[in-house]
Amino acid sequence: MKVVIVGGGFGGLRLARQLNNKAGFEVILIDKFNYHQFQPLFYQVATAGLDASNISFPLRKVFQKSKNVRIRLAELKKVVAAENKVITDTEEIPYDVLVLATGADTNFFGNKNLEQHAFPMKSTVEALQIRHRLLQLFEDAHAIQNKEELQRLMNIVVVGGGPTGVEVSGALAEMKKYVLPKDYPELDFSQMNIYLLEGAGKTLVAMSEKSSTQSQQYLSKLGVTVMTNTLVKDYDGKEVLLQDGNTIPAATVIWAAGIKGNIPAGFDQSLIARGNRIKTDRYCRVQGYNNIYALGDLAYMETPKYPNSHPQVAPVAIQQADMLASNLVLIEKKSDLSRQYEFEYNDKGSMATVGRNLAVVDVPKPKLHFGGFIAWLIWMGLHLMLILGVKNRFFVFSNWLYNYFTYDQNLRLIFKEFNKPVNK
């Protein structure tokens, strides 16, 4: 069975590993990057807490000893279901089974100004762009004489009060408190403002009331201005226009307010559900197809427990990949297809960190809530286990340990491309 998997994220990589060296399978894993990205720690790359290489792992290294998994560095352009093939920017690849695990991208909700001026954080490259932006702004600040312009530069707006928004706001607040005053003594960082804007009435909407309340308390303690029930209408690169007509001058806006599925060309509009996700059945099969599947953030699957589909988090993608691997083995062996597994998400809990010794954790069964230092240790332990590679885990843990005791990090580097001299 020739299985083509598009996407090397949590779902696609997990499925490829489950089928690795399984008899009867030939697997091709396609991704536009040659590495797996650990998305939960993008915010630490953006705030100079971790190096990009610490949370990225080469896909080819994962499968160095594989006899049946091959990697293709390419971008999917179109699915031609009638001919059982995909078209990438480099070649056409036939398949027996196609698995789409292309994940999700930033959703600017059609606002072109936001798309042009705000900074998304859905890839390692985008996280590095935010890091470069922040550091360059402070390098430029000492030369600015105009007080209004300087204040605009010192204001950072984070839009979206989910885990990403909460975590990056907390990390920025800790930079402001412990690091930036030492790096830039000529600047008055008491004038630096970090705003977290959330359209709902609380942060961490998907988590418990306790977690929402605690996260706001932690952020306020760190000096973040949390503004709930606040919608962003527009941003021109200089001022954030709010729905109520108020404005916030800001040179930097980090957008963490929404995501949309990456659906390739070749599918009918009727298959696309809310959030630009593709409709599937309980086996992760794309509706109307027998040999095309969708996993993770891309899949829109309605179940009795989740009538509006599952949350777009890594555990969903991983569990769907495990189920699909088991079902594909049954199909390959031509076993009784009535034995196939239907997907049911086992929610083991959710968590978010705000800063050093500050985090929130919710466990559904038994119903438990943790906050503060214990929750922070749980958060660190789980994320260390999920990172690929012993070397990456070692460096991440070392960086965290160094940062914890020194209140500092040495990754605040600006890499520029200088013009080469012209030989005459």
Q: Is residue 252 assigned to a domain?
A: yes
C-alpha triplet 125, 127, 70: angle, nearest 5°: 40
Segment 323-351 shows an average pLDDT of 91
How far, in Å, CA of 74 to CA of 288, rounded?
27
pLDDT at 142: 83
Give the lowest-confidence range in 58-72, 83-97, 218-232, 379-393.
Answer: 379-393
- We report the CATH number of the domain holding residue 281 as 3.50.50.60
Do 141 and 204 lie in one domain? The reply is yes
Do 173 and 42 lie in one domain? The reply is no
Segment 190-205 shows an average pLDDT of 95
C-alpha triplet 290, 291, 294: angle, nearest 5°: 105
Q: Is residue 371 assigned to a domain?
A: no
Q: Is the pLDDT of residue 423 over 60?
A: no
Going by their DSSP bridges, the two strands 358-363 and 368-371 should be labelled as: antiparallel
Q: Is residue 201 assigned to a domain?
A: yes
Q: Domain residues for 56? A: 2-106+259-339
Do 184 and 267 lie in one domain? The reply is no
pLDDT at 421: 60
pLDDT at 422: 57
Angle between helices 124-141 and 147-154 (to 10 degrees): 150
Domain boundary among 220, 235, 257: 257
Q: Is residue 92 assigned to a domain?
A: yes
Do 117 and 250 lie in one domain? The reply is yes
How far, in Å, CA of 190 to CA of 298, rounded?
43
Per the structure, the count of domains in the chain is 2
Q: What count of other Cβ atoms lies within 10 Å of the Cβ of residue 238? A: 12
- DSSP codes joined into one string, 47-90: TTSS-GGGGEEEHHHHTTT-SSEEEEE--EEEEEGGGTEEEESS
Q: Is residue 125 assigned to a domain?
A: yes
The total number of residues written for the chain in this structure:
424
- Residues whose CB is less than 8 angstroms from the CB of residue 298 and which lie 6 or more positions away in sequence, other chains included: 7, 100, 101, 102, 103, 104, 261, 262, 263, 277, 278
- pLDDT tens digits for 355-398? 999 999 999 988 999 999 999 999 999 999 989 888 899 999 99
Percentage of residues in the chain having pLDDT higher than 90: 89
Q: Is residue 347 assigned to a domain?
A: no
Percentage of residues in the chain having pLDDT higher than 70: 98
- pLDDT tens digits for 52-67? 999 999 999 999 999 9
Residues in a beta bridge with 57: 36
Do 131 and 244 lie in one domain? The reply is yes
Q: Which residues are known to be catalytic?
A: 167
pLDDT bin (cut points 50, 70, 90) of residue 412 is confident
Mean pLDDT across the chain = 93
- We report the CATH number of the domain holding residue 194 as 3.50.50.100
Do 116 and 101 lie in one domain? The reply is no
- What are the two backbone dihedrals, phi and then psi, of residue 275, each rounded to the nearest 5 degrees? 80, 15
Do 191 and 71 lie in one domain? The reply is no
Do 287 and 236 lie in one domain? The reply is no
Do 321 and 281 lie in one domain? The reply is yes
Domain boundary among 232, 257, 282: 257
Q: Is residue 228 assigned to a domain?
A: yes
Q: Is the pLDDT of residue 5 over 70?
A: yes
Do 168 and 150 lie in one domain? The reply is yes
Q: Is the pLDDT of residue 33 over 60?
A: yes
Q: Where are the beta strands (DSSP E) in 140-181?
A: 155-159
- pLDDT tens digits for 243-284? 999 999 999 999 999 899 999 998 999 999 999 999 999 999
Domain boundary among 292, 316, 339: 339
Do 92 and 117 lie in one domain? The reply is no
Do 79 and 207 lie in one domain? The reply is no
Q: Is the pLDDT of residue 320 over 80?
A: yes
pLDDT bin (cut points 50, 70, 90) of residue 74 is very high
Q: Is residue 397 assigned to a domain?
A: no
